[in-house]
Chains A and B, each alone.
Chain A
Amino acid sequence: MASRLTQQNRAGWLMAGPAFLLIAAFLIIPFFMAIGFSFTNQRLVSPNPTEWVGTANYKRLFGLSILTLEAERNEDGAVRTKDGEPVFPSLRSYTRNKDDYPEYYRKREWFSFGRGVDRRTFVLASDVVFLKAVRNTLFFVVVVAPLQAAAALGLALLINRKVRGINIFRTIYFMPVVISMVVVSMLWRFIYDGQNGLLNTVLDMLTFGWFEPVDWLGQKSTALPSIMAMSIWQGVGFHMIIWLSGLQTIPESLYEAARIEGASRWQTFRYVTWPGLRNTAILVMIIITMQAFTLYPQIAVMTGGGPLDSTQSIVFQMVERGYGKQDISGGSTISVFLFLFVLSISLLQRWLTREK
């Protein structure tokens, strides 16, 4: 008996060992390295020894200060204006003055808002680009996740019926999923083009020439929404399939019962279909959210983070620093932050799908 156990132990470790070693070496160890590096000034190659810097990297990413300034006044006490706007003292006199204002030193304006006519509050950050990347990524997630999930559910309901040729439509709707996001991004860069872009042409035709051409990726207000629309176009078929397999777990007898009771179409959806999809719904939302958080190829191919940082994303910033500037510690700090996000999402999933 004992020999049989040792023999099983040996066989087991031998068979699972290689896979476990690979996962340990290329996922688990680097993950702990990321946590470690985020407290140092590690660089890819450096002549100087690496030093422990405590939480300096985190402070640099998230350093925020609030500064409220009074407008400058003329000698007669009236607020001085320029082009109808009140004039405020230069921020540089605060952010470049280490001795008097160490808390504002080397920070930059993130945004500001007025308080009355003569006061304005400035939010200063030590890493404005990163905070914009976080804001953009969250915005992307918050818009794309529900829209894509809803569109995918709509498609799933649409093709979950027994009419001739429905499989052809399922095949077509799923098609963009098997195309690389890199390819899709490049193709849509052309479609979104401001001068010769196909989208402008189509919109022009649909509105009989009323539509003014837009440089979709070239302006701050439309760049990120354009990337969102394209991402939904590419990914919606994926989640349609997951919804569809959820729909098919709902027993036909429930629908029959609803029909006998004379339920309307909406009532059938509300009281039969939707309750049966609860776990699928959570799963779909989690998958989309996880995918959306790692937004990268679209940005790298289409905009490079521009215009004016309006499409910066967390992963794009991580690559810019970790690889572009070879700042391993800076990139690692962003990785840890990204992981905390993803972890909280999956804990949320655990909690939502817990056994009651």
Chain B
Amino acid sequence: MTLERKTRLIGLYLFLGFIACIFVLPILFMVMSSLKPDLQLLSDSSSLRAFLPVGDIGVDNYRDAFSRAPVGLFIFNSVFITATTLVLSLFLASIAAFSFVFIEWRGKTVVLAIIIATYILPFETVAVPLLLLVNNLPWLSTEGVTWGWLNSYQVQIVPWIIRALEIFLFVQYFRDLPRDLVESARVEGASWFQIYRRVVMPLSGPVIATVAILKFLEMYNNQFIWPIMVVQEEGLRPIMVGLLYFFQLNTAWGEIMAYLTIITVPVLAFYLVLQRAFIASIASTGVKG
């Protein structure tokens, strides 16, 4: 390697590293701050110590955050809502896509076109009328029929189960699968559901991962505007809304940083382990045409 190439390569790495700092340092700052008492936290932020685990390091902020707010409950709510929606979404989106691709039924072109058209409908544009709608919906529970979905789990789950993008991603993937597989299973007398379950789904690992990751990010990270509108009961709120709990204090930044770290680290860990799948799923949202 010539000297000139070497210098240029070092320059490139320095530049790459500098940009990496812009993305990493704020996150590092969050994690480090969560370990420091408030006074030190504020004085440290005037020097590079802000990014280092120095001084009086401990998990006091975490303990205080847990005792200040029902953090465990918020986490449970989010995990429960995310997991339920995820499972229902994968099932209903894939089976619908299966019928669009492999079965000839009357009206399917129209139905698929309507579903795809809703892709341009951001949730924000229907949130307000949906608030009125869910306020008047019935629900069957152990106490019989109740009216109004406000302050419940179902109001945070059911409206989010399906989005056009998920069906679309499955449809695209299924279209590339060899049709012979389905035809021959059909000839052998398998029912449509058996073909879906035994033939098509076992081949669909990549698209299942893509949809699961997108749904996970949408449900775990982005549930904010809707639960604020429909869930006033603290015990049912998800983690992102739980953050509002810390607004009422005269900003104890250490506790807030601890809370932010608790809710962010699992996602970051997921991402670092499954980064290829994460990046592939984001790239696939770009193939929409």
Contact = CB atoms under 8 A, between A and B. Distances in A.
Contact of B26 (A8, A172, A191, A245): A191
B120 A343 contact: yes
A85 B12 CA distance: 57
B130 interface: yes
Interface string B130-161: 11110100000000000000000000001101
A344 to B, nearest CB: 10
Contacts of A183: 221, 240, 243, 260, 263-264
Contacts, number: 270
A28 B118 CA distance: 7
Given A20-B111, A23-B115, A30-B129, A180 B264 contact: yes
A191 B115 contact: no
Contacts of B161: 22
A29 B118 CA distance: 11
Which secondary structure characterizes the binding site on chain A? Answer: helix
Interface stretch (B65-73, B101-109, B177-185): B101-109
Interface string A8-23: 1111111110111011
A273 interface: no
Contacts of B100: 16
Contacts of A155: 19
Contacts of A28: 114, 118, 121
Given A173-B20, A175-B24, A338 B125 contact: yes
Interface string B159-170: 101111001000
A353 B286 CA distance: 14
Contacts of B130: 26, 30
A242 B161 CA distance: 26
B129 A37 contact: yes
A305 to B, nearest CB: 14
Interface of A: 5, 8-16, 18-20, 22-23, 26-31, 33-34, 37, 42, 44, 155, 158-159, 163, 166, 169-183, 186-188, 190-191, 196-198, 201, 233, 237-238, 241-242, 244-246, 280, 283-284, 287, 290, 293-294, 296-297, 300-301, 315, 318-319, 321-323, 328, 331-332, 334-336, 338-339, 342-343, 346, 353
21 contacts: A10-B105, A19-B115, A26-B126, A27-B121, A31-B125, A31-B126, A34-B129, A174-B282, A182-B221, A183-B243, A183-B264, A196-B45, A284-B286, A287-B286, A297-B224, A297-B225, A300-B225, A323-B228, A328-B132, A331-B128, A339-B125
Interface of B: 9, 12, 15-16, 19-20, 22-24, 26-27, 29-30, 33, 42, 45-47, 50, 92-93, 95-96, 98-100, 103-108, 111, 114-115, 118, 120-133, 135, 158-159, 161-164, 167, 192, 196, 217, 220-222, 224-225, 228-229, 240, 243, 253, 256-257, 260, 263-264, 267-268, 270-272, 275, 278-279, 282-283, 285-286, 288-289
